[in-house]
Amino acid sequence: MHKKSALIFDCDGVMFDSRQANINFYNHILARFHRPPMTQEQTAFVHMHTADESIRHIFMGSPHLEEAQEYRWRIDYTPFIRDMMLEPGLVDLLRTLKPRMGLAVATNRSNTIQKVLQSNGLDLFFDIVVSSLDVQTPKPAPDCLLKVLDFFAVPADQTLYVGDSPIDGQTARAAGVPFIAYKNRALEADHHAGDMREILRIVKVAGLPGA
């Protein structure tokens, strides 16, 4: 699919406030194996990493690591989606940009991302969704963004990636894609945005073709 430009979104912390959903999901798995709830450090870790990495982190040193990995694949994620808060203004932004440029998701989520998007009526807005299961190496490797660039046949400098974590920034730099830091002024970035309206302004100021 050839597009003149593209806007790429991270999922957690950008499209959704999913902190509570992550806490509930991983604490549910920990409780299943009679382990205590996550610490603050573990909570910060799981917000940025893949489910596989997160389970390995929170079950470090546990004899139940492999059982926990197998169990998380069997969990129905639907109840946890209710704990995810859709970012205000996201749908309006997607409606505005959909006719003008390519839209994509690049996330370290694995088998849950499609259900999250479908449950919130977002799946039809995106031309491509790249999860950690769709690439050889997840973020902060650039694979997910490079896959999007290849899909749209668009150069890196005609795209923008919206993320909220240091890992997102590292991913963008590794792929040569300009980075919008969302609600995180501490991140080094090409642009900073505090809400979805600011993203629209940045897209226009960046002068992306079609935008």
Q: What is the pLDDT of residues 95-135, one digit of tens each?
A: 999 999 999 999 999 999 999 999 999 999 999 999 999 99
User: Would you state the pLDDT for residue 42?
Assistant: 97
Do 185 and 192 contact (CB within 8 A), yes or no? yes
**Is residue 90 located within the same domain as residue 76?**
no
CA pseudo-torsion sign 91, 194, 162, 100: positive
**Is residue 90 located within the same domain as residue 62?**
no
Mean pLDDT of the chain: 96
User: Would you state the pLDDT for residue 50?
Assistant: 92
Give the residue carrying structure tokens 């899909």: 151
Domain ranges, residue 29:
19-81
User: Would you state the pLDDT for residue 63?
Assistant: 96
How many independent structural domains does the chain possess?
A: 2
Residue 168 has pLDDT above 90, yes or no: yes
Domain CATH code at residue 155: 3.40.50.1000
**Is residue 77 located within the same domain as residue 105?**
no
**Is residue 107 located within the same domain as residue 143?**
yes
User: Would you state the pLDDT for residue 132?
Assistant: 95
Q: Is position 1 within any domain? A: no
When pLDDT is cut at 50, 70 and 90, the band that residue 2 belongs to is confident
DSSP H helical segments within the chain, as ranges?
Answer: 19-32, 40-48, 51-58, 65-74, 78-81, 90-97, 113-119, 143-152, 166-175, 196-206
Pairing of strands 85-86, 16-17: antiparallel
User: Would you give the DSSP letter of residue 37?
Assistant: P
User: Would you state the pLDDT for residue 206?
Assistant: 86
Task: Please say which residue of 36, 59, 81 terminates a domain.
Answer: 81
**Is residue 94 located within the same domain as residue 148?**
yes
User: Would you give the DSSP letter of residue 62?
Assistant: -
Do 158 and 5 contact (CB within 8 A), yes or no? yes
pLDDT tens digits for range 8-64: 999 999 999 999 999 999 999 999 999 999 999 999 999 889 999 999 999 999 999
Task: Please say which residue of 61, 81, 101 terminates a domain.
Answer: 81
Read off the pLDDT of each residue in 69-87 and give the average, rounded to a whole number: 95
39 three-state secondary structure:
coil
User: Would you state the pLDDT for residue 34?
Assistant: 96
**Is residue 130 located within the same domain as residue 163?**
yes
Q: Is position 145 within any domain? A: yes
**Is residue 188 located within the same domain as residue 92?**
yes
Q: Is position 91 within any domain? A: yes
Q: Is position 42 within any domain? A: yes
Task: Please say which residue of 65, 81, 97 terminates a domain.
Answer: 81
Q: Is position 119 within any domain? A: yes
pTM tops 0.85: yes
**Is residue 177 located within the same domain as residue 125?**
yes
Q: Is position 211 within any domain? A: no
Q: Is position 125 within any domain? A: yes
When pLDDT is cut at 50, 70 and 90, the band that residue 161 belongs to is very high
Give the residue carrying structure tokens 């660039």: 149
**Is residue 130 located within the same domain as residue 198?**
yes
Share of the chain above pLDDT 90, in %: 94
**Is residue 71 located within the same domain as residue 127?**
no
Read off the pLDDT of each residue in 141-149 and give the average, rounded to a whole number: 98
**Is residue 148 located within the same domain as residue 106?**
yes
User: Would you state the pLDDT for residue 72?
Assistant: 95
Read off the pLDDT of each residue in 127-156 and give the average, rounded to a whole number: 97
**Is residue 58 located within the same domain as residue 162?**
no
Residue 210 has pLDDT above 80, yes or no: no
When pLDDT is cut at 50, 70 and 90, the band that residue 188 belongs to is very high
Q: Is position 68 within any domain? A: yes
User: Would you state the pLDDT for residue 17?
Assistant: 96
Cα of 6 vs its chain's centroid, Å: 16
- Give the helix/strand (H/E) hosting 105: strand 102-106
